[in-house]
Amino acid sequence: MPEGSRFEIVSREDFSDATFLLEIRHPMMARAARPGQFVIVMSHEHGERIPLTLADFDRARGTITLVIQAVGKTTREMQQGCRVGDYLYGVVGPMGVPSHVAGVRKAAVVGGGLGVAPIYPQARGLKEQGAYVVGILGFRNRDLIFWEDKFRACCDELIICTDDGSAGIKGLVTEGIRRTMEVHPDLDQVVAIGPPVMMKACAEATRPAKIKTIVSLNPVMVDGTGMCGGCRVTIGQKVKFACVDGPDFDGHEVDFEDLQVRLRRYVEDEKAALERWQGQCRMDHHPN
């Protein structure tokens, strides 16, 4: 395989039964990457192309980091098959418009569940630009917390929220936003990444105070080049393509209902693909 097309997995960490981290050697991508961008990955020659956000990049080590939640066929296949020393078949990117970090004076970066990983480059990027950064991270419970130290290193304040109160404050990230807005009425930007329902709630929390709120949208993507129309989203009643116009958009302008409807469109096909793959796995492991 030619140099530059071997994407070695140099480390792996499992955060929970469903969430795992892969660090991949890719010096060119690490040099080019900016906060808010994503890559399209094919784990093997016959694999599906899936978009994954750059959760970190280290120019000195020449690596990029992906944090993946095993939800369906491809991500479960990666969870089962990707080991240190293996190679990913394809990694295309960096894609998408980099996040706007310049000129922001005081920001809250809000990550919910898996959204905690992709919000990290934004927290670090804002800090490097001289902003005062409040990190607000939401998890279901204390066992699911990851990267607390990484965030402490680049945030001026860190608020952990858990649904059950087992760590930090009991409540959703919107409670963290409410407290931050009270203490910092001069907040000039909120960035929120997580499930659509969470991003919508964050946008509603800041709307009355008119604080600019950026969300990172995750519609189904196919080509990632603006050609197929798969990732169409409605922003301020205009059609945009998340792969080339986003994935960051103004949360106060996003039509979240439209996004949710489009995300549900392929549920039956996704279920069938997972069942086929699980059936195949069972046959492969059958003693006869």
Ligand X SMILES: Cc1cc2nc3c(=O)[nH]c(=O)nc-3n(C[C@H](O)[C@H](O)[C@H](O)COP(=O)(O)OP(=O)(O)OC[C@H]3O[C@@H](n4cnc5c(N)ncnc54)[C@H](O)[C@@H]3O)c2cc1C
**Where does this chain bind ligand FES (CB under 6 A)?**
221-224, 226-231, 241, 243
Q: Could you say whether residue 97 binds ligand X (CB under 6 A)?
A: no
The site partner of 42 among ligand X, ligand FES, none (C-beta below 5 to 8 Å per kind) is none
Partner whose footprint covers residue 247, from ligand FES, ligand X, none (CB < 5 to 8 Å by kind): ligand X
93 binds ligand X (CB under 6 A): no
User: What is the DSSP code string of the chain?
Assistant: --TTS-EEEEEEEE-SSSEEEEEEE-HHHHHH--TT-EEEEESSTTPPPEEEE--EEETTTTEEEEEEE--SHHHHHHHHH--TT-EESEEEEEESPPP--TT--EEEEEEEGGGHHHHHHHHHHHHHTT-EEEEEEEESSGGG---HHHHHHH-SEEEEEETTSSSSEES-HHHHHHHHHHH-TT--EEEEES-HHHHHHHHHHHTTTT--EEEE-----SSSSSSS-TTEEEETTEEEEHHHH-SEEETTTB-HHHHHHHHHTTHHHHHHHHHHHHHHHHHHTS--
Interface segment toward ligand X; rule CB under 6 A; list 21-29, 50-58, 161-169, 204-212: 50-58
Among 220, 223, 228, 244, binds ligand X (CB under 6 A): 220
Partner whose footprint covers residue 223, from ligand FES, ligand X, none (CB < 5 to 8 Å by kind): ligand FES
Shortest reach from residue 105's CB to ligand X, in Å: 27
Tokens 């709630």 belong to residue: 201
Is residue 42 part of the contact set for ligand X (CB under 6 A)? no
Residue 175 or 223 having the CB closest to ligand X: 223
Selected from 42, 97, 228, 263, the binder of ligand X by CB under 6 A is 263
Backbone phi, then psi, for 239, in 5-degree steps? -85, 130
Choose from ligand X, ligand FES, none: what does 72 bind? Cβ within 5-8 Å by kind.
ligand X
Report, in Å, the least distance between residue 227 CB and ligand FES. 6
Pairing state of beta strands 189-193 and 106-112?
Answer: parallel
CB-based contacts of 86, cutoff 8 Å, min separation 6: 8, 9
- As given in the structure block, the two tokens for residue 115 are 């959204």
Q: Check binding of 69 to ligand X (CB under 6 A).
A: yes
Minimum CB separation of residue 264 from ligand X in Å reads 7
Picked from ligand FES, ligand X, none, the partner binding residue 198 (CB below 5 to 8 A depending on kind) is: none
Nearest approach in angstroms of CB 283 to ligand X is: 19
Structure tokens at 189: 């930007």
Quick one: what does residue 97 bind among ligand X, ligand FES, none, with the CB cut-off 5 to 8 Å set by partner type? Answer: none
Minimum distance from residue 6 beta carbon to ligand X (Å): 22
> Which residue minimizes CB distance to ligand X?
72
Binding site for ligand X (CB under 6 A): 38, 48, 50-53, 67-69, 71-75, 114, 118, 218-221, 247, 263, 267, 270, 274
